[in-house]
């Protein structure tokens, strides 16, 4: 039990539920005002049940997430009682010296001497280029060599092609943090499944973010809720989504951004007695996927026929996949980030010249040129 661990070195096996600090309890509705008193209670409950993994970032809660970690966790528990992950804001880097500046600031905010895990944050094709140019990968290796970081990796928002490039050229990366959940899994336009499979091909571990898709999969339509309850009335819709992710291979940790004690307790109840989905339960998840997929604004299957005939080689399936995701589920913003990353390499929907060659080969007879016009508005920078 945790009470025994307080007396000495933490020897517990690390459980798979990670505490993501993107959605901490707030004072009022101000994103930068974290309710430290409630967060302390959540930290206490989390540690008491044998969980130890906390994930933060330079930008979460307008920089207050790292400070909340210091106040609710670091000042109140021995260093052996927990692990902390933090992330380098790569989009702010202008020269190599900036890495040390932000890294030192993050250690100070968190009140730590070292990070257990440290990532390059939200890598994409554009930020990979800048990270290589300014020496970001070398900086991570240096911090590991001098003991300021125990494990290094990156979080990722781009295509499987870009991910393969990073892992092929930087095999020293130990972990990849990916968006993985059962509804994004079936949207081939955004390549969530391909990215996951790419990580496995490189024999790396996956840390999952957004397993509930910003809470969408914790509040499913009544038809899905009834189906889940009929099979197992004791567990929540969130538990189904978390167990689906936990059933995947090479998943090291599953992050959940918990805002209330109730959410925390429900998630811990799931992970305390974590079991993989059986065949019957997997079939129910497939039914839930189909029900949610019917919300899509079009019938694109992401076959790629349109891109093959596009004179500009625009990444049309990716644009449609991101557009559908953003229209179906308002939670996020990463769709817009990924659109910028893909667009930097293939051109954006704005570059369409309305030739309609794509529409002549579309098996679903989608009016692609009209759809792309709407995509320009939906996927514009936030």
DSSP string across 7-64: TS---PPPPSEEEE-SS--BSTT-TT-B-HHHHHHHHHHHHHTT--EEE--SSGGGGH
Which letter does DSSP use for residue 101 in this model?
H
pLDDT given at position 183: 94
Which letter does DSSP use for residue 113 in this model?
S
pLDDT given at position 178: 97
- Six-digit token string for 141: 């290796």
Alpha helices, DSSP H only, in the chain? 2-5, 36-48, 64-69, 96-110, 125-134, 136-145, 160-169, 192-201, 222-231, 237-246, 261-272, 279-293, 305-309, 316-328, 334-346, 357-361, 368-378
pLDDT given at position 216: 87
pLDDT at 12 over 50: no
pLDDT digits (tens, 9 = 90+) for 277-304: 999 999 999 999 999 988 888 889 888 8
Please state the pTM of the whole predicted model.
0.86
pLDDT given at position 4: 31
pLDDT given at position 8: 32
**Alpha carbons 324 and 374: distance in angstroms, whole number:** 11
209 pLDDT band, cuts 50/70/90, is very high
Comparison of pLDDT for 2 and 122, the residue scoring more:
122
pLDDT at 332 over 70: no
Task: Report whether CATH 3.20.20.100 matches the domain 2-286.
Answer: yes
- Six-digit token string for 164: 């393969």
**Alpha carbons 256 and 235: distance in angstroms, whole number:** 17
Q: In this structure, how many other beta carbons lie within 10 angstroms of the beta carbon of residue 163?
A: 28
Query: What is the pLDDT of the chain when averaged over all its residues?
Result: 92
Domain ranges of the chain: 2-286, 305-378
Q: Using alpha carbons, list the distances in angstroms from residue 159 to 57, 119, 209.
A: 23, 18, 16
- Choose among 326, 376, 382: nearest CA to 351: 376
pLDDT given at position 331: 56
Comparison of pLDDT for 297 and 262, the residue scoring more:
262
**SS3 label, residue 207:** strand
142 pLDDT band, cuts 50/70/90, is very high
Cα of 239 vs its chain's centroid, Å = 18
The percentage of the chain sitting over the pLDDT mark of 90, rounded to a whole number, equals 76
pLDDT at 5 over 70: no
133's CB contacts (< 8 A; 6+ apart) are none
2 pLDDT band, cuts 50/70/90, is very low
pLDDT given at position 301: 85
**Alpha carbons 83 and 90: distance in angstroms, whole number:** 22
Highest mean pLDDT among 79-88, 119-128, 187-196, 207-216: 79-88
Which letter does DSSP use for residue 216 in this model?
G
pLDDT at 239 over 90: yes
pLDDT at 10 over 90: no
pLDDT given at position 11: 36
């Amino acid at each position: 039990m945790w009470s025994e661990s307080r007396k000495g070195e933490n020897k517990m096996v690390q459980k798979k539920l990670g505490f993501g600090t993107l959605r901490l309890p707030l004072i009022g509705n101000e994103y930068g005002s974290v309710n430290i008193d409630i967060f302390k209670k959540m930290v206490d409950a989390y540690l008491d049940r044998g969980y130890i993994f906390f994930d933060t970032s330079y930008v979460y809660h307008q920089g207050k997430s790292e400070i909340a970690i210091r106040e609710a966790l670091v000042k109140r528990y021995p260093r052996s009682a927990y692990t902390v992950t933090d992330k380098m804001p790569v989009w702010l880097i202008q020269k190599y010296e900036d890495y040390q500046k932000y890294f030192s600031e993050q250690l100070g905010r968190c009140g730590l001497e070292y990070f257990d895990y440290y990532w390059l944050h939200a890598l994409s094709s554009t930020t990979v280029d800048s990270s290589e140019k300014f020496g970001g990968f070398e900086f991570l290796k240096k911090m590991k060599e001098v003991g300021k970081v125990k494990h290094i990796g990156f979080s990722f928002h781009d295509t499987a092609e870009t991910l393969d490039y990073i892992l092929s050229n930087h095999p020293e990366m130990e972990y990849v943090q990916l968006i993985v959940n059962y509804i994004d899994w079936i949207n081939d336009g955004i390549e969530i499944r391909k990215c996951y499979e790419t990580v496995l091909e490189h024999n790396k571990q996956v840390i999952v973010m957004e397993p509930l898709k910003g809470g969408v999969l914790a509040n499913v339509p009544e038809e899905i809720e009834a189906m889940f309850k009929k099979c197992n009335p004791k567990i929540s819709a969130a538990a189904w989504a978390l167990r689906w992710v936990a059933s995947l291979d090479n998943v090291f940790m599953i992050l959940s951004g918990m805002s209330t004690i109730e959410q925390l307790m429900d998630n811990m109840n799931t992970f305390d007695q974590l079991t993989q989905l059986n065949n019957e339960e997997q079939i129910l998840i497939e039914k839930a996927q189909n029900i949610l997929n019917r919300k899509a604004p079009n019938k694109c299957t992401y076959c790629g026929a349109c891109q093959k005939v596009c004179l500009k080689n625009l990444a049309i399936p990716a644009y449609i996949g991101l557009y559908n995701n953003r229209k179906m589920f308002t939670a996020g913003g990463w769709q817009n980030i990924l659109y910028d990353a893909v667009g930097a390499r293939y051109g954006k929907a704005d570059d369409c010249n309305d030739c309609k060659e794509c529409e002549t080969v579309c098996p679903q007879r989608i009016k692609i040129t009209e759809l792309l016009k709407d995509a320009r508005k939906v996927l514009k920078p936030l």
